[in-house]
A and B are shown apart, each in its own frame.
Chain A
Amino acid sequence: MHQVINTFFSPHDFRVAFPNVWAGFQVNLKLMVVAEVLVLILALALAVIRGLPGRGARPLRALAIVYTDFFRGTPLILVAFVIGFGLPALNVHGISSRSNFTYGVIALTLVYTAYVTEVYRAGIESVHPSQRMAARSLGLSYWQAMRYVVIPQAVRRVIPPLLNDFIGLQKDTALVSVIGVAEAALQSQAYSQTYANFTSYTVAAVLFVLLTIPLARFTDHLILARELRERATAT
């Protein structure tokens, strides 16, 4: 028992490891924010493309489907390897000499865009067709109807599942340590290898949990608020 505490929960090692792990965790935060912003934008664009009407848009729709199927099915760690080691090996000017941070953002964005596209798409499909019809009958174009009527309603509805995906993204920022991004997990590993003590991982875990809890509670709160509202309008 004593040994377990010393190996994983040593107060001394906690203090010593903290600065480095904390510095690494800030990299996680940056990865998360940059990737999230990119994902929010790209996924919305893809979801809209998947919903485009007409035969002319079929190739675009197909491309979007292939993309989401591919990246939802591929483990993030593989994508990270391919991006983080593959792109530099290509030796192409402009894409082969980026920082590991950039490759990490690209890998996270590629994978999470696929998940979030599906979330948006479910939201867009949940808006009753009569809403679009009402918008179009005012003379709004297809794009205006999407922009002002369909998407705002869709986004409101999918905020809780979006937040859930972002909790996942937060945690997965640790995975890009495999391509050498000096984030919290990698810093923890460095410490544990140097001092043969695993408390540094506990530090990282605590930081991740502390970050996740508010988001998780906020998501619960939104879901509950929606249920109450729907019950109120149903009666």
Chain B
Amino acid sequence: MSFVHLDRVTKCFGELEVLRHVSLDVDEHNVVCLIGASGSGKSTLLRCINLLEKVDEGTIVVDGQEITNGHVDVNALRRKIGIVFQAYNLFPHMTVLENVTLGPKKVRQLNARQSRDTARELLERIGLAEKADEFPDRLSGGQQQRVAIARALAMEPKLMLLDEITSALDPQLVSDVLDLVRELASTGMTMILATHEMSFAREVADKVCFLDAGVICEEGSPEQIFSDPTEPRTREFLGRVIAAGRL
């Protein structure tokens, strides 16, 4: 059984059908990349998986538990799913260390010492140990995004959702963040990431899904999707991406 299983998920905002009959399987320790034009529904799909959005139809199963039946403990579910946003969304009134320890303290109920030790270890790992006591606005975008990843990892999630986490970064800051994601992938973290970094997707993904107007138009191995797409729409999208110099 796959770790994340979406079965004909439909999500509407008013009249607008943002996801239509989306089915998707993500195996444990796999990395799935969602690609597609902006507005195609990538963020919405990720947000449905940790119930930041409620689906209108269809079912989602995470870690053997159906989460779309309305009986699920939302906070317990989110505890095992980390999400990182394009805009980092660090807490500006807390230091880097406090950002990373908030979840462990309040949700995992670790004591101050345990949560601090965990956080320091993580900051070490992302190469920002010396920034522990800085406030987020003193950090570069790339550093902030790595802190946001550390904040999510501090919950020891079983699944990470990454939503275009490099899209707001200056080009020279992208690689540090991608290195970190690469390292996460190598440790076997299950991840779903929405991304515009096609060469990165090709490198880390076990599966690539092309979303078009709320529908998974094509999915397959990175080699197949990027070298030999079968759907005309996929070809057209990749053609535009290549023209924009992103592949």
Q: Which residues of B contact A213 (CB under 8 A)?
A: none
Q: Give the CA-CA distance A149 to B102 in the complex, in Å.
A: 10
On whether A139 and B92 interact (CB within 8 A), knowing A148-B106, A233-B137, the answer reads: no
Complex interface bits, A116-150 against B, C-beta within 8 A gives 1, otherwise 0: 00000000000000110111111111001000110
For chain A, give the interface size range. Answer: 10 to 19
Binding-face segment, B73-81, B126-134, B183-191, B223-231: B73-81
A130 engages B52 (CB within 8 Å): no
A156 engages B89 (CB within 8 Å): no
Counting CB contacts under 8 A, is A153 at the interface? Answer: yes
Least CB distance from A126 to B in Å reads 12
Q: Which residues of B contact A138 (CB under 8 A)?
A: 78-79, 102-103, 107, 151-152, 155
CB-nearest residue of chain B to A156 = B93
B93 engages A139 (CB within 8 Å): no
Q: Which residues of A contact B155 (CB under 8 A)?
A: 138-139
Counting CB contacts under 8 A, is B200 at the interface? Answer: no
Q: Give the CA-CA distance A202 to B81 in the complex, in Å.
A: 66
CB-nearest residue of chain A to B81 = A137
Q: Which residues of B contact A152 (CB under 8 A)?
A: 93
Least CB distance from A207 to B in Å reads 37
On whether A140 and B89 interact (CB within 8 A), knowing A133-B52, A233-B137, the answer reads: no
B75 engages A140 (CB within 8 Å): yes
Complex interface bits, B64-88 against A, C-beta within 8 A gives 1, otherwise 0: 0000000000011011011101010
CB-nearest residue of chain B to A147 = B106
Interface centre among B52, B78, B106 (most CB of A within 10 A): B106
Complex interface bits, B122-153 against A, C-beta within 8 A gives 1, otherwise 0: 00000000000000010000000000000110
Counting CB contacts under 8 A, is B237 at the interface? Answer: no
Q: Secondary structure of the A side of the interface?
A: helix
Least CB distance from A86 to B in Å reads 44
Q: Give the CA-CA distance A141 to B76 in the complex, in Å.
A: 10
A130 engages B75 (CB within 8 Å): no
Name the interface residues of A93-133: CB closer than 8 Å to any CB of B.
130-131, 133
Q: Give the A-B contact count at a CB cut-off of 8 A.
A: 55
Q: Give the CA-CA distance A130 to B75 in the complex, in Å.
A: 17
Q: Give the CA-CA distance A135 to B107 in the complex, in Å.
A: 11
B85 engages A140 (CB within 8 Å): no
Q: Give the CA-CA distance A135 to B106 in the complex, in Å.
A: 11
Interface centre among B52, B79, B107 (most CB of A within 10 A): B107
Q: Give the CA-CA distance A136 to B152 in the complex, in Å.
A: 12
Least CB distance from A55 to B in Å reads 15
A153 engages B52 (CB within 8 Å): no
Least CB distance from A193 to B in Å reads 53
A139 engages B85 (CB within 8 Å): no
Least CB distance from B239 to A in Å reads 33
Name the interface residues of A149-207: CB closer than 8 Å to any CB of B.
149, 152-153, 156
Report which of B85, B91, B107 forms a contact with A149, defined as CB distance below 8 A. Answer: B91
Counting CB contacts under 8 A, is B115 at the interface? Answer: no
B107 engages A140 (CB within 8 Å): yes
Report which of B52, B82, B87 forms a contact with A136, defined as CB distance below 8 A. Answer: B52
Q: Which residues of A contact B151 (CB under 8 A)?
A: 138
Q: Give the CA-CA distance A136 to B102 in the complex, in Å.
A: 12
B75 engages A141 (CB within 8 Å): yes
Counting CB contacts under 8 A, is B50 at the interface? Answer: yes
Q: Which residues of A contact B90 (CB under 8 A)?
A: 134
Report which of B79, B89, B137 forms a contact with A134, defined as CB distance below 8 A. Answer: B89
Least CB distance from A56 to B in Å reads 15
Q: Which residues of B contact A140 (CB under 8 A)?
A: 75, 102-103, 106-107
On whether A139 and B78 interact (CB within 8 A), knowing A133-B52, A233-B137, the answer reads: yes
Least CB distance from B137 to A in Å reads 5
Extra A-B contacts (18), CB below 8 Å, given A140-B106, A149-B91: A130-B85, A130-B87, A131-B89, A135-B91, A137-B50, A137-B78, A137-B81, A137-B83, A138-B102, A138-B103, A138-B107, A138-B155, A139-B78, A139-B107, A140-B103, A152-B93, A153-B92, A233-B137
Interface residues of chain A, those whose CB is within 8 Å of chain B, are 130-131, 133-141, 144, 148-149, 152-153, 156, 233
25 A-B pairs whose Cβ atoms sit less than 8 Å apart in the complex: A130-B85, A130-B87, A131-B89, A133-B52, A133-B89, A134-B89, A135-B102, A136-B52, A137-B50, A137-B81, A137-B82, A137-B83, A138-B79, A138-B151, A138-B152, A138-B155, A139-B76, A139-B78, A139-B107, A139-B155, A140-B107, A148-B106, A149-B91, A152-B93, A156-B93
